[in-house]
Amino acid sequence: MGVTFCLVDHLHITYTTECNSIELKFLTHLQPWLASSVEKLQARRQFVAVRIRSIPGFSLVS
């Protein structure tokens, strides 16, 4: 379970408390602007992970 919202068109992000840290590092490397958002959330200890829910032609979640 997590909080899902749309940051930009066709990019839906879900922040969860269950995390694969390798996946998180890959995603933040892929999207620097996303890394900044994740760091802010981690600083508040609200969420520790991010999963991409849908990007056309691209998926990291099963």
pLDDT for residue 38: 57
pLDDT for residue 59: 43
Question: Can you list the alpha helix ranges (DSSP code H) found in 1-62?
Answer: 21-30, 32-43
Among residues 62, 1, 60, which one has the least CA distance to residue 25? 60
For residue 28, give every residue at least 6 positions away whose Cβ sits within 8 Å of its Cβ, in sequence order, or none: 34, 35, 38, 50
Confidence of residue 5 (pLDDT cuts 50, 70, 90): very low
> For the whole model, what pTM was predicted?
0.21
pLDDT tens string 12-60: 445 554 544 434 444 444 555 555 665 665 555 544 444 545 444 444 4
